[in-house]
Amino acid sequence: MEDVHPRLAGEGLSRADARLWVKRAIDAVGASLGLLLSAPLLALAAVAIRLDSPGPVFFVQTRCGQDGRMFRMWKLRSMSVDAESRRDALAHRNDLRGPVFKMRDDPRVTRVGRWLRRSSIDEIPQFWNVLRGEMSLVGPRPPLPREVLLYGPREWRRLDVKPGLTCIWQVSGRNDIDFDEWVAMDLHYIENWSLFTDLALLLRTLRAVLSGTGAS
């Protein structure tokens, strides 16, 4: 999708840093390998999802990417099919302050979904978004359009770069971190970005996934 979030239209930045071409090459290679190597696991997960609860295997949701460009983000479905319509009724149980919704023991999560989230397997289809250039392997997590509507100038800066499959927040406790600290982590990443930082975060993510640390 090429639509730009109305709050961010015209706010794009020009970027000519040659390192970004290297980052894009790493993204393309990494996402291709990720999809290839995870294909058998995705097939098993798809069967488990269909046996566990009615509904599609994949969950597709509109998110905001770099400079507010909206795109369709792919995940393995880990919730009941009516999860979106039940969100407002659960708003009072939000564990985080700010324009984001995170909840422990979410009743919308299916039995298989709990395993998918704990192992981060539900995120694997986002390799496709990375391959398409809508996301990067490393970067701030892509917000929902309704969340961006509530952003102030500080939060908007999260959209200066491509959203990522993983980020500092992803490997630092997730639900144990409030939104302001989450934003601070993203801004620190953006302001101090390097290829070495991306490599370090990818290694930390692999360790977190294998140990289940910070999964929700």
Residue 168 located in a structural domain = yes
pLDDT of residue 153: 93
Q: Show the domain range for 138.
A: 18-211
For residue 8, being part of any structural domain is answered with no
Q: Rounded to the nearest 5°, which phi and psi values hold at 71?
A: -145, 170
- The band of 144, judged by pLDDT with boundaries at 50, 70 and 90, is very high
In this prediction, residue 88 carries a pLDDT of 83
pLDDT at site 12: 36
User: Over 80: is that where the pLDDT of 89 sits?
Assistant: yes
Predicted confidence (pLDDT) per residue in 10-60, tens digit:
443 345 578 889 999 999 999 999 999 999 999 999 999 999 999 999 999
Whole-prediction pTM value? 0.86
Q: Is 2's pLDDT higher than 60?
A: no
The pLDDT of residue 175 is 59
Q: Contacts for 35-41 with beta carbons within 8 Å, 24 or more apart? A: 35/124, 35/127, 35/128, 35/131, 38/124, 38/127, 41/121, 41/124
Whether residue 12 lies inside any domain: the answer is no
Residue 121 is predicted with a pLDDT of: 94
Tell me, yes or no, whether 155 lies in a domain.
Answer: yes
Mean pLDDT value across the chain: 87
Q: pLDDT grade, residue 133 (50/70/90)?
A: very high
7 belongs to a structural domain = no
Q: Is residue 13 part of a domain?
A: no
Indicate whether 80 belongs to any domain. yes
Whether the predicted pLDDT of 189 surpasses 70: yes
Q: How far is CA 143 from the centre of its chain?
A: 8
Question: Is position 137 within any domain?
Answer: yes
Q: What is the mean pLDDT of residues 161-190?
A: 86
Q: How many domains is the chain built from?
A: 1
| Cβ-proximal residues to 90 (8 Å cutoff; 6+ apart), any chain | 103, 106, 107, 108
The count of other CB atoms within 10 Å of the CB of residue 134 is 22
Q: How confident is the model at residue 114 (pLDDT cuts 50, 70, 90)?
A: very high
